Amino acid sequence: MLDRRSLLLGVAAGLWPFRSPRLAMAQGGWRLPWTRVPAITVLAAPGEPRLSLVYEAVAFWNRTLAELGSGFRLGNIDGIGGEIPVPELAWLGDIILRGAGPVLPPPSVRALPGEMVVALAQGDFVSFTARWPELAKSLVAIKSDRYPPLNLPNVTRNVIAHELGHAIGLGHNSDSNMLMCGRPALSRPDAFVSSSPRYFPLTEYERAGLLQLYPAGWRPR
């Protein structure tokens, strides 16, 4: 089993319980950058409408990174049938939101191809992101859009983009007009309600932080 220093539990809730320099790059919560282009595996039921929103969110982040002049990009997407059991996701999400880790990724996640796993689940829990840099693995878990607030207009789109933002290294901010808004604990997807499809913006601090993590000369190692 890996020891405490070998694991980073990427806390999507904006909590940073570990203070080692290896785990949090700066006081603002910037994490260790990816050292490779992360390929993305999506777990989704056949005909899952949210799959298109994952493609759009990846395109949003790659467009944003290009506009910043960064050399980093998210990788290709492969959709795979099947799912991670909702109780397993709820259990892991609870550990993350309480800052009670670290924990190893579930075997079901470790066995999947790709560095970044996006699980479009059918159950009700708090969407979250976990990341284990030394295993080159990240899990983005999205609750069903049948449950509030993801059943509100424009919310699921922004929650997926929000969680991918955590996966590449961003924490929370306190501005409800911004994509990465959050409370001290749970994220605030209700802030993403809009009558028309759109992504909420990043702060200038976050844009500068992304470029610090992934500069123009970034190359996979």
Question: 58: closest CA among 76, 33, 46?
Answer: 76
Whole-model pTM: value is 0.86
Reading the block at residue 211, the tokens are 């470029």
pLDDT digits (tens, 9 = 90+) for 91-144: 998 888 887 767 888 888 889 999 999 999 999 999 999 988 888 999 999 999
Quote the pLDDT of residue 174: 86
What is the domain partition of the chain in residue ranges?
34-213
What whole-number distance in Å separates Cα of residue 70 and Cα of residue 213?
A: 9
pLDDT digits (tens, 9 = 90+) for 37-90: 999 999 999 999 999 999 999 999 999 999 999 999 999 999 988 889 999 999
pLDDT digits (tens, 9 = 90+) for 13-36: 332 232 222 322 222 345 789 999
Residue 163 has pLDDT above 70, yes or no: yes
The owner of tokens 């005909």 is: 47
Pick the CATH number of 34-213 from 3.40.710.10, 3.40.390.10, 3.40.718.10, 2.60.40.420: 3.40.390.10
What whole-number distance in Å separates Cα of residue 67 and Cα of residue 59?
A: 12
Residue 189 has pLDDT above 90, yes or no: no
SS3 sequence, 48-112?
CCCHHHHHHHHHHHHHHHHHHCCCCCCCCEEEECCCCCHHHHHHHHHHHHHCCCCCCCCHHHHCC
What whole-number distance in Å separates Cα of residue 49 and Cα of residue 102?
A: 33
The tally of CA atoms less than 13 A away on the side-chain side of residue 8 is 30
